[in-house]
Amino acid sequence: MAKTRPYLYYDHVVSLCAICLRRIEGKYTIRDNQVWMYKWCPEHGQSKVLIATDATYWRQGREVYIKPPEMPLQFNTEQHYGCPYDCGLCPDHMQHSCLTILEINDHCNLSCPVCYANSGPARLEHKPLAVIEKMLDAICANEGEPDVVQISGGEPTTHPQFFEILDAARRRPIRHLMLNTNGIRIAREDGFAQRLASYAPQFEIYLQFDSFQREALMTLRGADLRQVRETALLRLNELNLSTTLVMTVARGINDAEVGEIIDFASRQPCVRGVTLQPVQFAGRSEGISASAQRLSLTEVRAAILAQSALFIASDIIPVPCNPDALAMAYALKTPAGVMPLTRFIGAEVLLSGERNTIVFEADPVLKGEVFRLFSTSHGPEGQAQSLASLMCCLPEVTAPAIRYDSVFRVLIMAFMDATNFDVRAMKKSCVHLIQEDGRMIPFESYNLLYRGSLQNRLEELRGEVDLSFGRGLRENTSPGVPQSAIMRRRDLPQPSGALAPQKDVR
């Protein structure tokens, strides 16, 4: 009798070695409803990482919740080295910018032990307004009317020309503007929240909100921010200024609070949703480790279902633009309480056949509304409009009048790092960072290869690719890429020291 392996071989994967960041091959396997990535580096040996604790859900993102890729108006780099060494966007990228992040500074008024941007008080860099305006123009050149632009940093509210930057963004055809902030200035400066509210509607606060517990906040943020969060939310509630609470989630640190924070958020008048981000192990991650604190998307999803009574499994579905990294649920705030909605528009209603046709309605305009709703390219106003269009076509649902301030969304954003990197998912990334030279670099690859001094290793890897194909000096033909970006062929040293094979990482 032939021997069989104790797992299902599901798919081939192109990944990165977590040590040297070279492209390597691997495979996805499924066993006991868990998905594992096994990969092998010729230099550093074999490793494996847990990708999903719910294979049934994970497979939906590859077999059901898929859609034709949406393109930007233009691409900004050429294909030369292969993904993820050509980011910017290259013509082989499979998703436009649903959400564009504009980092206006590196300075921050906190020294968070966990920070993918390595920001802090010692970093004094603030981008000049003229440079920021050119970056805003580059976003519009790529997207026409960008869906969502997030002003970020560092802590963006510390920029000396902060409100001038918001004014510059408002002068451009950006559908929805978002401010990513730790809330300190909102809480401590009288009149600051009122001035922010002058940019509404189509303006939202993306408020860091990790925990109710001092110990967790000290671990993640290096400061007890409970009073800051309480005061900031009080002021935002008084103004009913659209707010999303953003929770960085780490195993054993604050993952037991997922349900509590969602339930709390649903009771706040100004809060339109919660975004849950498992820690991406890139940048600064002091005091935590991938082996102990890593969480997969499905583990966060399971925590929502176990800890909050608001949602059931059919409510939290993959986001079609990038289902490996994103999951979403919608609900409405009503006088009788929170009313979950996604269960009424599950896969059997949304999709059928190879072309993702909506079962109950063949109208392509409505189909577009469905896919637009389940993406990251929406502010509360757009969510309400799409939900209203969709609900009227579901006769079994009696929904109240849908206003932007009644929409409540929970989003899981699980950004890959080098350990669980997958080129397939990388090509579908829809959260991008705009660069001064006009490139739009996906969030995942930027924090692994393109941020600051990390580019030194990127240049080495690019040089290795050129050497492997016998190529010499690269001619710069990519629009928006300066002459300094040209990579030259050269002999490259190998990483020094013998490194043990990687251990299993959950």
> For the segment 122-135, what is each residue's pLDDT rounded down to a tens digit?
999 999 999 999 99
Measured between alpha carbons, how far is 415 from 326 in angstroms, rounded to an integer? 9
Write down the pLDDT at residue 477.
43
> For the segment 99-116, what is each residue's pLDDT rounded down to a tens digit?
999 999 999 999 999 999
What the block records as the tokens of 55 is: 């294979």
Element holding 317 (H helix, E strand): strand 317-318
Write down the pLDDT at residue 388.
55
50: Cβ contacts below 8 Å, ≥ 6 apart = 34, 35, 36, 296, 504, 505, 506
Read off the pLDDT band of 18 (50, 70, 90).
very high
Residue listed under structure tokens 């510390």: 158
| 8-12, 257-261, 280-284, 474-478, range with the lowest pLDDT | 474-478
Helices 297-307 and 55-63: crossing angle in degrees, nearest 10, is 120
Q: What is the DSSP letter of 65?
A: S
Comparing 196 with 379, which gets the higher pLDDT? 196
Helices 258-266 and 297-307: crossing angle in degrees, nearest 10, is 60
Nearest to 415 by CA among 117, 155, 182, 215: 117
Measured between alpha carbons, how far is 306 from 165 in angstroms, rounded to an integer? 42
Strand 407-413 relative to strand 326-334, pairing: antiparallel
Write down the pLDDT at residue 370.
52
Measured between alpha carbons, how far is 283 from 119 in angstroms, rounded to an integer? 9
Checking if the pLDDT of 356 tops 80, the result is no
247: Cβ contacts below 8 Å, ≥ 6 apart = 209, 210, 211, 254, 257, 258, 261, 274, 275, 276, 277
Checking if the pLDDT of 407 tops 50, the result is yes
Q: What is the DSSP string of 67-99?
A: -PPPPPS---S--SS-TTTT-SS-TT-----SE
Write down the pLDDT at residue 485.
36
pTM: 0.86
99-433 — its CATH code?
Answer: 3.20.20.70
| 277-286, 350-359, 364-373, 379-388, range with the lowest pLDDT | 350-359
| Continuous H helices in 280-422 | 290-293, 297-307, 347-350, 364-373, 380-391
| Cα 116 to Cα 25, 59, 380, 422, 446, distances in angstroms | 26, 29, 27, 19, 10
What average pLDDT does the chain have? Answer: 86
Write down the pLDDT at residue 497.
34
Read off the pLDDT band of 365 (50, 70, 90).
very low
Contact 430, 322 (CB under 8 A): yes
Contact 117, 105 (CB under 8 A): no
Per-domain residue ranges for the chain?
Answer: 99-433
Read off the pLDDT band of 144 (50, 70, 90).
very high
Measured between alpha carbons, how far is 12 from 37 in angstroms, rounded to an integer? 9
Contact 406, 414 (CB under 8 A): no
Write down the pLDDT at residue 403.
64
Read off the pLDDT band of 358 (50, 70, 90).
very low
Query: First and final CA of the chain: distance in angstroms?
Result: 34
Read off the pLDDT band of 493 (50, 70, 90).
very low
* Partners of 249 in beta bridges: 278
- Mean pLDDT for 163-175 is 97
- Tell me if the bond preceding 72 is cis, omega within 30° of 0: no
471: Cβ contacts below 8 Å, ≥ 6 apart = 489
* Partners of 407 in beta bridges: 332
At 295 the three-state DSSP class reads coil
Comparing 18 with 381, which gets the higher pLDDT? 18
